Amino acid sequence: MNVMDNGASEKSRAAMLSLLAALGLTSIKLAVGLYTNSLGILSEALHSGLDLLAAALTLAAVRISAKPADSRHPYGHGKAENLSALAQTVLLFATCAWVVYEGVQRLASGSSPVVPSLWGVGVMAISMAVDINRVRVLRRVAKNFNSQALEADALHFSTDILSSAVVLVGVLAVWLAQALQLPAPISRVLSQADTVAALLVAAIIFRASMHMASDAVNMLMDSASSQASEAIVVAVRKIAGISEVRRVRVRTSGPQSFVDLTVGVAPGLKVSDGHRLAHEAEEAVAGVLPGADVTVHVEPRKSCRIDENNPFALVQVAASEHGLAVHDVHILSADSTCHIELHVELPGQMPFDRAYARVKAFEDTLREALPGVEIVSHMEPKAPSAALEPGASVSVPFSEMAWREIKAAVENEPLAAMPHKFSTYVLPEQGVCISFHCNVSVGLSVEEAHNVCTRLEKRIRAAVPQLGRLSIHMEPAVVSNTPAA
């Protein structure tokens, strides 16, 4: 609390010094400007008068922003500094409009009612010295306490230094034109130097005002810095145990930054470990934005949550989109990673570089849908489409023998019954293949039904060792169902 009080006191003191400096400069410039009738000095006097008003706004904004948060302002009163900076830009735009109007009028008429005097040169030199000193003080305090109002003041008075130098050159040129009694053409050109200097001051003020207005509006609209957000993401991702940084929102209220972010962790993580990771994320953000108010929301990561009902759906859909056939898909989940192994079929005569490019595009689609996933793909030539040969091509004695052995195996399995839809066919690479349907008892689990199928296959292969592929389609037993002959 004391640190905050000290900061508020130092900001208030810097704003007060700026206010007093503006008051002194406005008085001096106005007196000399009226005496010399110099548009450049009068524009600077008006500029300093607006500086005086801006410094008063800054002082008020700094004091308001120092108030603690309350029920109506849960994020504090820091936006008062942003409003003060925006108000300063409005005043500066008004200055630009008056100076440009008056300068164009003088250039159009060719008149130069400036009274040459070293008083003008002296007051502008003093103005530059005062501005250099207060810019140094304001920048130091603004940097120490992240004050946009003081930073706007510092930027404002930095342009004053340049504009004062321009006016100084213009006033000095008018004085030299008379003191050296230069020829009339040169004297007329130099006599307009003050007016040209005033227009240059207006251009400088306008440019600075646009910059300040943009910053103030961005702050009021909670426009976040993309660099800060990216730096936060990089810092938080380095924490072991945090696999995702899904959303980062940054807003500022005066000197205070507020950060909301959502991180993904392992689904089975303990609450205590999640709290520890959230605390580490807060410290990582503090390293990027010191003093920020950080809120971390911890969620189970989405890396391996493909489809709770069908965990292979996304892989198959992605393969279909890329015109690929995949099989032997295995999805393995660890605490912090998701590992996918699969086989991809491609035309055997396709050039390998083209095949690799197609598979890589497919893998990139999976990685985009599953951030952090590890993919191991095995490419293999697509098996040629084999024309099924009719059962008659297999010898009748062999088919009859195989069918007898199938019925015998089913009769010896108490949980299976009614073999039907028997067929034989030949594949060039596997030889004679057999398929048939059979019923299994109602109420079995998938694992139990699979065990029945495994036992049947062992019995049939033991009886018919010449078999290539054996496919058994199991169906739940239905009372009304009758075996096909």
Q: How many domains does the chain have?
A: 4
pLDDT at residue 429 in the model? 65
Q: Which of 146-155, 216-225, 386-395, 444-453 has the highest mean pLDDT?
A: 444-453
Query: In terms of domains, do 97 and 55 share one?
Result: yes
Are 168 and 30 within one domain? yes
Name the more confident of 350 and 64.
350
Say if residue 456's pLDDT is above 90: yes
Pick the range with the lowest mean pLDDT from 70-74, 137-141, 367-371. 70-74
- CATH at residue 287: 3.30.70.1350
Same structural domain for residues 21 and 161?
A: yes
Q: Kindly state whether residues 277 and 362 are assigned to the same domain.
A: no
What pLDDT was estimated at residue 481?
Answer: 45
Q: Would you state the structure tokens that stand for residue 381, as one six-digit string?
A: 């030539």
**Same structural domain, 292 and 376:** no
SS3 (DSSP) at 436 = strand
- The vertex-147 CA angle with 141 and 152, nearest 5°, equals 95
In a domain, 482, yes or no: no
Two structure tokens written together for 403: 């069918």
User: 357 and 399, same structural domain?
Assistant: no
pLDDT of 309 reads 43
Contact criterion met (CB below 8 Å) for 161 and 271? no
Q: pLDDT tens, 30-84?
A: 777 777 676 656 766 776 676 777 677 777 766 776 676 666 766 666 666 667 7
Tell me the range of 14-18, 142-146, 274-278 where mean pLDDT is highest. Answer: 274-278
Residue 436 lies in a domain: yes
Q: Which residue has the higher pLDDT, 212 or 148?
A: 212
- Span 345-352, mean pLDDT? 84
Residue 409: the pLDDT is 93
What integer pLDDT is reported at residue 231 of this predicted model? 85
121 vs 114: which has the higher pLDDT: 121
Residue 270, in any domain of the structure:
yes
Query: What's the average model confidence in pLDDT over 298-306?
Result: 62
Say if residue 281's pLDDT is above 80: yes
Cα–Cα distance for residue pair 316/318, rounded to 1 Å:
5
Q: Which amino acid is at 253?
A: S
CATH number, domain with residue 17: 1.20.1510.10
Q: Measured in whole angstroms, how far is the alpha carbon of residue 164 from the centre of its chain?
A: 42
Is the pLDDT reported for residue 218 higher than 90? Answer: no
How confident is the model at residue 238, as a pLDDT? 86
**pLDDT class of 455 with cuts at 50, 70, 90:** very high
Which residue is it, tokens 């008062």? Answer: 80
Q: Is residue 481 part of a domain?
A: no
Comparing 131-135, 142-146, 329-333, 378-382, the range with the smallest average pLDDT is 142-146
| 474 to 404, 411, 439, 448: CA distances (angstroms) | 18, 15, 6, 12
**Residues whose CB is less than 8 angstroms from the CB of residue 421 and which lie 6 or more positions away in sequence, other chains included:** 435, 436, 437, 473, 484
Residue whose C-alpha is closest to residue 107's, from 169, 201, 193, 41: 193
Last residue of a domain, one of 280, 300, 320: 300
In degrees, rounded to 5, the angle at the alpha carbon of residue 124 between the alpha carbons of residues 12 and 57 is 25
Task: State the sign of the Cα–Cα–Cα–Cα dihedral 301, 224, 142, 20.
Answer: negative
DSSP string, 270-297: -HHHHHHHHHHHHHHHHHHSTT-EEEEE
Cβ contacts of 438 within 8 Å, gap of 6 or more = 410, 416, 417, 418, 419, 420, 456, 472, 473, 474, 475
Residue range(s) defining the domain that contains residue 251: 226-300
Q: Are residues 194 and 275 in the same domain?
A: no
What's the pLDDT score for residue 237? 85
Can you say how many angstroms the Cα of residue 282 is from the centroid of all Cα atoms in its chain? 18
**Encoded tokens for 83:** 């409003």
In a 13 Å sphere around the CA of 14, the CA atoms on its Cβ side amount to: 29
Please tell me which residue, 227 or 428, carries the higher pLDDT value.
Answer: 227
For residues 199-223, average pLDDT: 71
> Is 374 domain-assigned?
yes
Instruction: Say how many C-beta atoms besides its own lie within 10 A of residue 79's C-beta.
Output: 21
Q: Residue 417: is its pLDDT beyond 50? A: yes
Residue 125 lies in a domain: yes
In whole angstroms, what is the distance from residue 418 CA to residue 175 CA?
119
* Span 464-481, pLDDT tens digits: 888 888 888 888 876 544
In terms of domains, do 24 and 93 share one?
Answer: yes
Residue 303 has pLDDT above 50, yes or no: no
Tell me, yes or no, whether 387 lies in a domain. Answer: no
Q: Is 252 helix (H, G, I), strand (E, B) or coil?
A: strand
Same structural domain, 199 and 294:
no
For the ranges 240-254, 383-397, 401-415, 443-457, the one whose mean pLDDT is highest: 401-415
Enter the pTM of the model.
0.39
231 and 217 co-located in one domain: no
> Are 283 and 359 in a shared domain?
no
- Where is the domain boundary, 221, 247, 267? 221
**What is the residue-averaged pLDDT of the chain?**
74
Place of tokens 């953000």: 285
Task: Quote the pLDDT of residue 457.
Answer: 92
Q: What is the pLDDT of residue 458?
A: 92
Domain boundary, last residue among 300, 332, 355? 300
Do 136 and 20 share a structural domain? yes
What is the pLDDT at residue 257?
77
Q: In the structure, what pLDDT confidence band is assigned to residue 306 with cuts at 50, 70 and 90?
A: very low
Asked if residue 291 is part of any domain, the answer here is: yes
Answer whether 172's CB lies under 8 Å from 114's CB: no
- Name the least confident of 129-133, 300-304, 387-391: 387-391
Q: Are 433 and 427 in contact (CB under 8 A)?
A: yes
